[in-house]
Structure 1
Amino acid sequence: MQRTVFSTSRTAEFLDWRALESQTGQSRDRFGDVVIKELLDNALDAAESARVAPEIGLAVSSADGVARVCVSDNGPGIPAAVIERILDFTRNVSDKASLRSPTRGMQGNAFKTLLGIPCALGVTEPVVIEALGVRHEIALSTDPCAEVAIRHTKAPSVRTSGTSVTVPLPTGQVTAAKAARWLRKFALVNPHARFVDHGQTEGGEGAGIYEPTAPEGWRKPWPTDPTSAHHYDEAAMKKLVIAHISEHRLGGADLTVRAFTNTFAGLTGSAKAKKVAEQVPGITHLSGFEENLEQVAVLLAAMKENSKPPTPSDLGKVPRDHYTHVLDQAFGVEETWFARKQLTDGAGIPWSIEVTVARTKRPGAVSFAVNYSATFGDPLARTRLAGDKIADTGALSFLTQADAVPDPSNQLQRAAIVHLVCPVPRFTDKGKTTLVVPREVADACAKALTDASRVLAKDKRSRQSTERQEAREAARQREADARAATQAEPTVTKKDAVFAVMREAIAQARGADGLSFSSHTLFYKIRPLALKLLPAGSKLKAPYVEQTLIPEWERANGPILGLYREPRGTLHHPHDPDGTKDVHLGTREVERYRPPQWSYNKILVIEKTGLWLPVRESGIADRYDMAIITNEGYSTEACRALLAKMPPGDVQIFVLHDADPAGYNIARTLGEETARMPDHRVEVIDLGLSVDDAIAKGLEAEPDTRQAALPARILPHLTDTARTWFTGTACDWNRKGGPRKWRYQRVELNAFSSPELIAYIEEGLARHHATGKVIPPDSWLSATAEGSLRHRAATAVGEAIDAMFPKDRLIDEILAGLDTDQITAISSTDIAQFHTHRPALSWADAVPILVGQRLSDHPGLPALARQAVINYQATERQ
């Protein structure tokens, strides 16, 4: 069979909601938030670039099922030439994409996503940009073959100063209330700007206006400020230099080394620029680095040597009174607490952390911001924060424990803002929300959160102490009542009760339609049935039923048909930068998974999902042809089942874990049989982290408390030092006089810096003789090469045909021979009738099918196509 090679426009990636989810880092139902945030970011940047106090307007209007988001600014106005560059979807257009400074944005494709979102959501109305006396209407559309058309029309506009951008969306995507929330979040961290809500707001006239409060002389880093050479490492500086070279190839200036040096803070003088340029003799312009990229490191070192490193004070400060003013306008403030921590991390990068917590008169909200820009969520969501009394992951969870977030159920009126500023933010997501921060920065964040929430946290602890005392008294009374009520009742164990009702519970969970169900769903069917057989006051907890009793019942009675376990881990394939081949490790996913041929010959299991990003960025998986499994804590049954599917001896399996009892036990249970998987046995190589390795590497140990004895099966694997660390000292005793708690030492993998972690993994792979790269047999290589060659040849044929025949002209001639009105006149009645027979399909699926059906009544379409080609050839010969 001769396969046809198809090609589609990359522009279509901006018109497909799945691709846009990947690019924006937000789900489809949050595209309205993406539009508002990006428009506000752009408007502030425009005004700041012109060095004027920003005046930002936001309006949301709705009509005919379309909501229009309009943001205006008082900047210089977007030139028509810039808009034309934005419409070049083959390139990202950004003035900050390769720079390192505490500014908003840096995505490089944000405006393109704004143009594509309406089409992706089914809105045909154009995006409107008005600036410098011109009104631009831009509409993108795509046909069923993913071919993209860009319609750009221009007309005169009364707007001659600033820019306004209007983006149409479905009404469900955005409301005036949502827009007001975003305006308030941006107003919180921009005291120099005036924000006006032109939509309908509660509170009457003026309720939607946030006036600037910044004192005279206040400043923040502007988008046009010189960046500092100290913000860059060698890779980042190479990226910046290459970006300049690429711009030169497109017709831009080829900067001299001196002129390039002058663009950095502390290097604007000619004398310093000359000294820097002298360190790279023979290279006068940036284009000279194209063949001498190794000299970029020399250039960077000279720039750092001749300039002062930036300090946290350069990042600016939002006054405490401004935070209080905006929160009071929005929610009515009774009392506020504020904390600011500024520091320079181990890499020489300055940081500023500001936290304000308020007790309010009206229900408030928690807001987050990075670099004077509101974020979609908590930027510290994956950061472990350890304060004096509170330790948790994420700022929101930390504030929740401190009683610093609104809680309608307890009538707690609270509001808070957490603002981080850093010239080199490392985001883990395309939505520019979740940050990776060094440990010293995490400690400073925890300190700021602790200081700002100390009063509320203390009040909560006092209240909880009283509640616990009352609960203990009530529990003692209930226990006494239960003992009296059950003295004459026969004893029935929880296991007996669960096993007795299991088949009835399975039937209820599966239902008449025989659908699949989770173990948690099955628990909810078991519990009410089993409690009827147990003494009054008995309880059944989900972990015991789901992790112990259900597997035990399956071992005695066989697998439960339709039962699945949710994914709790991910298999990442090598050579898959976009994660398109990732496998979530649930029971159903693992059952369907077939290891790809000649893809990997090693698997590394890491007990922490948070370490995947530096592992991916290091390229170690690609260098070793090694798949990576990440999960939190103990491996699931699905994960171990996947490892068991690997051909014996063909795939080496490694494990990486914390240096603590749980980590050692994770390494053991990964390969050995357990109560849930009694027949499981896989050869697993333990890379560590061992206690002895942690000591040898000089990693910092941390104290911890355990409430259970050391697992007996890990004892043979412990060295004397590890046994001493993990045994620790008893610190609490039970009623029989035995220890109930122990203080011991442990080391987490996170104690490594990212480069240290990768080096440690590579040392372990070498120590355990990891196999080499995957190389298939010659027959496979030849077949692959032949397929690649045929693909290239087919592509060349397609390009030649496209060059020989004017596709649009041929299509127009074909359509002229058809009754297009009759074929395309599809109404809502037609779609409704179609759905009576095929209700599972959407209208978008239905339209191409109906068109195909109507074309089937026109047998001349192939003939028309052939005749169009013949006519064209005849014309060309004449």
Structure 2
Amino acid sequence: MNFTREDWTLFRNMDTLPQKSGVAKHGIPKLVAKELTDNALDISDKVEIEGNYRNFTVWNDGDGIDPEKLGELFSINRPMVSSKLLRLPTRGALGNGLRVVAGAVIATGGKLYVSTHGHKYEILPQDNGTSDAIVVDEYDRTGTKIEVSLGDEYIDFKWAEDAVKFNKGTKYKGKTSAYWYNSETFFELLQATDSTVREVVEQFDGCSSTKAGKIAREYGRNRKSNELSFDESEQLLNSIRQESRPVKAARLGEIGELEGYSSYNKQSGTFALESTKGNYNAKIPFTVEVFTKEADKSSCQALINKSPSIKGIHASESNKKLNIWGSGFDIYLKCTGVEIVININTPYMPITNDGKEPNYRLMAEVIEIATTKAVNSYKRNSGSKPTDGSKRLTQKDVMLNNLNEAVKKASGDGTYRFSQRQLFYGVRPYVMEQLGIEPTYENFNKVITDYEAEHGDIEGIYRDSRGSLYTPHSGTTIPIGTLSVENYQRPEWTFNKVLYIEKEGFFEILKDVKFPERYDCALLTGKGYASRAVKDLIDYLGESQEELTVFCIHDCDKAGTVIYETLQQKTKSRGERKVNIIDLGLNPKEAIEMGLDVEKPDKKKKMKAADYLTPEEKAWLETNRVELNAMTTPQFIDWLERKMHEYDNGKVVPVDEVLKDELLNKVRYFTKSKVRERILQENNYEKQYQQEVISLQSKIEEKELRLKEMVIESLAASPEQIWKQPIESIAKEIV
């Protein structure tokens, strides 16, 4: 006699539920509270939890749950929720969470209630694995409240409380990325939904509705994604990737520095998931945040996307050393008596079983780097300083020892962005109090540059704008600073070249002769040496799928050659550029051939010429220099255009699909305008409009009696408005 059972039946028995939940039998109540809290936090940051260890309640202020779907959501025989297959840096890993909750209720004879959209529902599990939702009371609050009890089982809130505690900082605001899937996982994603190909493509980063339509057109109108073959799915994956670029780890969100912890370090990385039978591998970005503080006994807690991992990390002390290890990594630290929290932000966490046990092996190196740096910072911040004169505190010591407090002060405890100069004034009082000397901003800049080279950019800091970017055809010029670069979006198919100019004064000369438009070339300057923001902008532009060539022009002197060298190569603050930069000069040979005025350099300014020069060029620049300004405007334009022609890759001409879409859009636009004008004329639009305005005259006059008063009241209620906005609202009310 043979017996068979379906997989979902493992959820309804406390002896088999651990196989699906990933925790031991005694940990299931603790997991239930965590899963419900995680789901609430993925919906809204405003979450409340409470209970008495026999009952647990969680509430969030989201839009609520469709009552028609309650039974299905809490059914243990439903398949994995398809939306969880879309990889995103959120708390869910498998979509098993609500099935574990429902299974625990069944297995313990507990109770489960969901209150949403005006009613309280009791969830009643059925023997066939489905659930019914029965109205038992009214509900007069917004959002959703879930109440659960598990018979006589004790419900531990610790994981749920930690999920709320660490729900800080920023969240990922984008869509899933095509680079987060290899050939096999993308095919399985398509097989798990009956949505059309276009609907699926629209879920991906970089794919607007227009782009999705263009990509999906090749597979037939309204074709279902689960009808695609494996080869077709690979072709589709490649097409989506062509319309987007990999998502940087910095976009994934973070907790950021937390009050109560002595040190914080953040590192980022990527790991690959290779395809076994296809052509495309997945590239998964991740960040590791490590927090430390003093403790009587060392411990280590792991979080995944800000939520406690159900599989803990082990910590043990021996011979004044701390060993932390777990699922794929093993780290030894010269430290004891420290509490460590490790948070990993990633759209995909490799797991070892249905129960979400994480596998950190692919991230082990970055975890070790971040943990070691955080612990070293903890020891530096908390260690006592010698008082016997054996080691004298330096300005750098004091600045770094008090950097975290200065960041908190400058940012309003993490609420606002802040400038580097504001941060300087945050550490200045500590230096003056402890050393009795006035710190200099120049020295502070050096300390911060070295610090960020080791630890990464200080979260929340921005550099003041220095330089600008001019975009051809649009005529727009934007300042180049941290915030403007973070928010910049490259206009599609507008320019394929960028010219970095040491001096911003040449912008107007080039704009006057339409150089940017004739060459489809954006103009960029950092007013001398390129700032971090300029380098970040070039890297961002270089990541685009569109072709791009970057050029640099500068004075013919030692400083000019270093400007190009540092623009291209690695510095303390930034790595090497991701796009090759072509040096157009001015170089000594052409300066001499053009007969330009030669000056003697300032001997007081000690500087070496760039390493890429020949020995003869270096020797000449020791005693000579020529400015770009030594050329007349006709000479400068002629020289630049001759140099550009050596490398010119022509005007921007988009791919066929873009050209066809643009033609169709323009035809539609002009046709729509033509038809609209004809309809308006045929229906005597102007006369009807005038008559309508006359009919509203009495309402207008009524509002005019209190118009100024209403505007003042509206501005007081919403000060961010301009006076025209209240007027617009009043006009809409009249009409």
TM-score w.r.t. the length of structure 1 is 0.37
TM-score by length of 2: 0.44
